[in-house]
Structure 1
Amino acid sequence: MRMSTLVMLGVTGVFATTGLARADECADASDLATMNACAAKALKASDAELNALYKQIQGRLEDDEDTTKLLVAAQRAWIAYRNAECDFASSGVAGGSIEPMITLQCRDDRTKKRVADFKTYLSCEEGDLSCVLPPAN
């Protein structure tokens, strides 16, 4: 199963229940349904950026099967961590009408942090021994 598929599986179920919101609705969201939809929209955007960066990293590792396997394992573990962490973080409102929004916002926050990590991997300088990726061509 491709990693982008795995990432999308992690968030697809949430989107199914929240619908999509227009950008102007999000700026002035005043009802919970709209706030949920806006939180889902934000996560979807962060997730799309994460997937694009993941593909760039995979491309840089195309000649390194062992490190690619480590990337896949790390990303699977990260998805499990993100989901479990956000389930825990939203457990205080479990069963409440605000739970989906809190969970979505948490996942978006964690995804943005992973995006930052991926950007760091992709921008490290040649010769940096802590850089896992080969230089870009």
Structure 2
Amino acid sequence: MRIAIAAAAALFMASGAQAQVLKCDKASTQTDMNLCADQAYRKSDADLNAAYKDLMTRLKDDKNGATQLQAAQKAWLFFRDAECAFSSGGTTGGSAYPMVLSMCLDKLTQARTKELRAYLKCEEGDTSCPVPAKP
């Protein structure tokens, strides 16, 4: 599934100096729409990684909490990839597949980032929050 995204990205990069900046709000070809969807997903993935890193930093003194977060994130990544493989299955082999897959990955990744960022806003004394409040 990631091969299709990588192939689209490689196609974009291969155009080198001739490539123009994509105007995703005006994308009209399937290739441009695929590339724009991939670009959006990559941004969301970077945001997710930043939120995860912030949480791991906050949990540096809680080995059990850090281990549990790692396990949860690994399971979530497995779920996200499987869910998106399933939900984009109707377009497998088609030109829209990379776009549909990237859109699913982007949507679920944004939702997970929101969940992780909420843990960073726990207030002192909130026993329902597994992450210590910011000192």
TM class, shorter-length: 0.7 to 0.9
**CA-CA distance at 1:16 after TM superposition:** 2.1
2:119 to 99, 121, 124: 121
5+ long unaligned stretches in structure 2:
13-18
**CA-CA distance at 1:93 after TM superposition:** 1.5
**CA-CA distance at 1:129 after TM superposition:** 1.3
Q: Residue 14 and residue 53 in structure 1: after superposition, are their counterparts in 2 closer, same or farther (change >3 A)?
A: farther
Aligned pair count? 127
2:89 to 76, 88, 91: 91
2:7 to 11, 14, 17: 17
**CA-CA distance at 1:23 after TM superposition:** 6.1
**Which amino acid counterpart does residue 18 of structure 1 have in structure 2?**
A
Counterpart contact for 1:61–1:133, Cα < 8 Å = yes
| Structure of higher CA gyration radius | 2
**CA-CA distance at 1:41 after TM superposition:** 0.5
Instruction: Measure, in 1, the Cα distance between the counterparts of 2:52 and 2:4.
Output: 22
**Which amino acid counterpart does residue 54 of structure 2 have in structure 1?**
Q
Counterpart contact for 1:53–1:119, Cα < 8 Å = yes
Give TM-score, length-normalised by structure 1: 0.85
Q: Secondary structure at the match of 2:120?
A: helix
**CA-CA distance at 1:125 after TM superposition:** 1.1
Q: Residue 104 and residue 128 in structure 1: after superposition, are their counterparts in 2 closer, same or farther (change >3 A)?
A: same
5+ long unaligned stretches in structure 1:
1-9
1:43-79 per-residue CA deviation (whole Å, 9 max, x = no partner) reads 0100111111111100010011111111111111111
Instruction: Measure, in 2, the Cα distance between the counterparts of 1:96 and 1:67.
Output: 43
Give TM-score, length-normalised by structure 2: 0.86
Instruction: Measure, in 2, the Cα distance between the counterparts of 1:44 and 1:53.
Output: 14
Instruction: Measure, in 2, the Cα distance between the counterparts of 1:106 and 1:22.
Output: 26
Superposition map of 1:74-89 within 5 A = 74-89=72-87
Superposition map of 1:1-137 within 5 A = 13=3, 15-19=5-9, 24-137=22-135
**CA-CA distance at 1:122 after TM superposition:** 0.5
